Every structure is written in C-alpha cells, then in structure tokens.
Chains A and B, each alone.
Chain A
Amino acid sequence: MMPMNAASALAGPENPSSPTRTLCLGGLTIRLIGSGASAPLIEPISQRFLVDSEVTPTITLEVGEGDPAEFEKLASQKPFFDSGGTWKLYREDKTLVYAVTVPIFGDIPYRFLEVANDFSTGRLLINPKAGVPEHCLFPLAFPLDELLVANLLTLPGNEGVLLHACAVTDPDGNAYVFVGQSGDGKSTTARIWAAREGMTILTDERVIIRRHEDGFFVHGTPWHGDQLAAVPGRARISGIFILRKAPANSVTETRPSLASALLFARSFPPLHNPESLAATAAFLESLVTNVPCRELHFLPDSSVVDFVRGLYAA
C-alpha cells in the first residue's frame, strides 16, 4: 500500500490558520476555501484525508453562509432530479445545484452544493436561517461529499467508480476488494480480516476504484462502516469478490458481463446523467476484463481469510 500522494503525505495538511482546506479522495483533490479568515470545518475522520494546499485541485469550492433567499428560491423550484431521500438536484444554465433538506429544518434546504457544469469550481453554502448547531456545521458532510466524488469519477480522464465495498491489504502485498450491498457482510468481513496480524482495512463501507497509468487501484475513503476503517491510502487490486453468505467457502467464476452488472448494482453512479452512466458502465467493463472478479460464497469466520489468501498463494 502506498500513500495517496507521496509529496502531500510528507508535507501534511496546510497551516491550521489558513482559510483553505484541501481533501484528497481517491486521488481527486477538493479545495475548500472558507470565507474571511475562517476555514471550513472538516469532519474528524475526513481530516485524515487532508493534504497540502500546493496540490493542484480537481475542483475548488467556496464555502460559507449563503443568502437565505437563494435557499428559499430553490425550495420553490421544480427539481431536475429527486433522490427520494434528503437531496434534490436543480439544473441552471451553467451550474448544477445539489440541495439537502431534512425535516428538522423544515421544507427549505439547509445547505447546497452548486458546481459548474464542468465540475471545476463551485460553492458550498449553509443556510444561516436553518439554525444548524455549530458542532454540526460540516458543509461537505454526507451526501454532498459522496455525490461530488461520484460525479468527479465519471469525468473524462478520471476513470473511476465509487463502490459499496470494503478493501483489505495483506502482508504479501495483495489487495482484495469485497463488494456487497447492505447486509451482505462487508462489516463482518472487515472484522474477520482485521483480527489477523498484518492486515490493513482501507475502509469497511465505501471504496474508490480508479485506473491509473500502472493499473487498477483501490483507494480508502472516509466513508466507513461499523469498524470505523478509513485509511487514506491506495493499493493495486489483486482481486474483486462479490460477497455471498454461504455455509462453506467457495468462489464462482463470473462472466464479465454479469460481473460488471453486479458491480454496477453496487456502485453509486450519478443516475441522473446519461454520460456518467455510460462512463461508469465502460469503466466497470474495463475493470472486470483486467482484474479477476468472482463471487465469494463465504462462511463468516476466520477460515475465509485462509481461503482467499490461498487463491493467491501460488
């Protein structure tokens, strides 16, 4: 496993007194510029992913309090896409606006992310009239952080996907990605592997997979599960396993067409954008063509560790 960006890792995060914070997620850099002298608040676990501000950002966001009228205007508009959950997407001429509304703050969005159509710049604003408690003022908190990264991954040249999975590296240098929907055993898998010496759990809930010049890599993310695993590193992928609970350990070879479909169903592509969907489908096809992807029927105990590592022993 190697640091996300060696230079950044050595330099560390920027000066605490600076109003700028730069996050590196899956090799994509998000620069947050606070208003005035105050730096944007970053959630504790996400702070592990802060890097030096010398890095050229993938996207730059101005962060601060917005004009309440902007939030009220959004609430009166028809959304371009409604997630059915906490967020809705509004489309303007040159921008996209992801607005988050929660019942505790009524019908008006309490924060939104506005990005240029090319995802190079944007604004991340909190509604000052919403009354968000000070200790919860994390502008890029869920779901805006994941929505932003999921979009960035599908842009030309970025070649990646956000997957519902946990990732483990072993002392032999192998990296395994265990993919599953809720209840399929990601947390169980992370717990079992973490109990073995020398294992690193990059994350137990969400991973970013990207193609770099030298192959396909899995990246840790701050979006952890029960095991609170969130490591800012990356590793070349040895194998991808789609989790299936079973009474015994076995693997099933999966046709690439089915494997890419199974991964698609466990990914977080921007479903409102046809180009993004096409990019995700093409990326997954390339992934399963180049990296072994199998269904892992597993017994939820430590025997599965030896079973999987045994597949790579030769």
Chain B
Amino acid sequence: MNNQKNHSSANQEITQSVKRTYLKPRIESVEMRPTEALLGACKTSSSAGPASPSCSTLSCSSLGS
C-alpha cells in the first residue's frame, strides 16, 4: 500500500515537473491583401517583360508597388 502511494506520488511529481505554463489563448491577426492574393493586380507578370511592354496594359488593371 505504501509502495503504491509512493509510486503515485512520484508520478505526480513527474507530471508537475513537465507541466508547461498555461498561456491564455490569444488571437493574432495576419494581414492579407486581397488584391494581391487574387492576382487582381500585377507588377511583374511575364507580359510586362521587355519584349512586350505594351501588352501589360491588357492584363494588369493596376501596377503593384
């Protein structure tokens, strides 16, 4: 009985030693830019390449920064 009690106590100590500090859940916001993510605007499509600069106006509604 005593052995069982000691064993249980030891387990408890081990559990306590590895227990991590509680961190309250929190929300972190991450900025997403819809115009970029949707491929709605292009800075650099290959259509804006040097061989066909005028074609970029056909596919790009606006230029990125």
Give A contacts to B, CB under 8 Å: 43-46, 83-87, 100, 102, 104-105, 110, 132-133, 135-136, 138, 141-143, 145-147, 150, 164, 181-183, 204-206, 222-226, 228, 230, 258, 261-262, 264-265, 267-269, 271
Task: For the complex, give the distance between the alpha carbons of A110 and B59 in Å.
Answer: 10
Q: With A133-B54, A135-B55, A258-B28 given, is the CB distance from A142 to B42 under 8 Å? A: yes
Min CB–CB distance A188 → chain B (angstroms): 12
Contact: A43 with B52, CB < 8 Å? yes
Min CB–CB distance A180 → chain B (angstroms): 11
Question: What does the 1/0 interface line of B39-50 toward A look like (CB < 8 Å)?
Answer: 111111111111
Contact: B46 with A102, CB < 8 Å? no
Give B contacts to A, CB under 8 Å: 28, 30-52, 54-55, 57-61, 64-65
| Option from B28, B51, B61 in Cβ contact (under 8 Å) with A44 | B51
Contact: A85 with B46, CB < 8 Å? no
Task: For the complex, give the distance between the alpha carbons of A121 and B11 in Å.
Answer: 61
Q: Can you name 5 A-B residue pairings with CB atoms under 8 Å?
A: A43-B46, A43-B52, A135-B55, A138-B55, A143-B45
Q: Is the contact region of chain B dominated by helix, strand, or loop, or is it mixed?
A: loop
| Option from A85, A205, A222, A262 in Cβ contact (under 8 Å) with B39 | A85
List, in ascending order, chain B residues with CB within 8 A of A104's CB.
57-58
Contact: A182 with B64, CB < 8 Å? yes
| Option from B28, B33, B54, B64 in Cβ contact (under 8 Å) with A136 | B54
Task: For the complex, give the distance between the alpha carbons of A146 and B33 in Å.
Answer: 17
Q: With A43-B47, A43-B51, A182-B43 given, is the CB distance from A85 to B31 under 8 Å? A: no
Min CB–CB distance B24 → chain A (angstroms): 15
Given contacts A135-B52, A141-B58, 7 further A-B contacts (CB under 8 A): A43-B46, A85-B38, A136-B52, A136-B58, A138-B55, A143-B42, A225-B43
List, in ascending order, chain A residues with CB within 8 A of B31's CB.
181, 265
Contact: B43 with A142, CB < 8 Å? no
Q: How many A-B residue pairs have CB under 8 A?
A: 126
Contact: A228 with B59, CB < 8 Å? no
List, in ascending order, chain B residues with CB within 8 A of A265's CB.
30-33, 37
Q: Is the contact region of chain A dominated by helix, strand, or loop, or is it mixed?
A: loop
Min CB–CB distance B2 → chain A (angstroms): 45
Q: With A43-B51, A44-B51 given, is the CB distance from A142 to B61 under 8 Å? A: no
CB closest residue in chain B, given A203: B44
Task: For the complex, give the distance between the alpha carbons of A106 and B14 in Å.
Answer: 73
Contact: B39 with A146, CB < 8 Å? yes
Task: For the complex, give the distance between the alpha carbons of A230 and B51 in Å.
Answer: 14
Min CB–CB distance B44 → chain A (angstroms): 5
Contact: A142 with B40, CB < 8 Å? no
Task: For the complex, give the distance between the alpha carbons of A141 and B51 in Å.
Answer: 13
Contact: A262 with B30, CB < 8 Å? yes
List, in ascending order, chain A residues with CB within 8 A of B49's CB.
43-45, 224, 228
Contact: B46 with A45, CB < 8 Å? yes
Min CB–CB distance B56 → chain A (angstroms): 8
Task: For the complex, give the distance between the alpha carbons of A181 and B43 in Å.
Answer: 11
Task: For the complex, give the distance between the alpha carbons of A268 and B37 in Å.
Answer: 5
List, in ascending order, chain B residues with CB within 8 A of A83's CB.
38-40
CB closest residue in chain B, given A269: B37
Min CB–CB distance A50 → chain B (angstroms): 13
Min CB–CB distance B34 → chain A (angstroms): 7
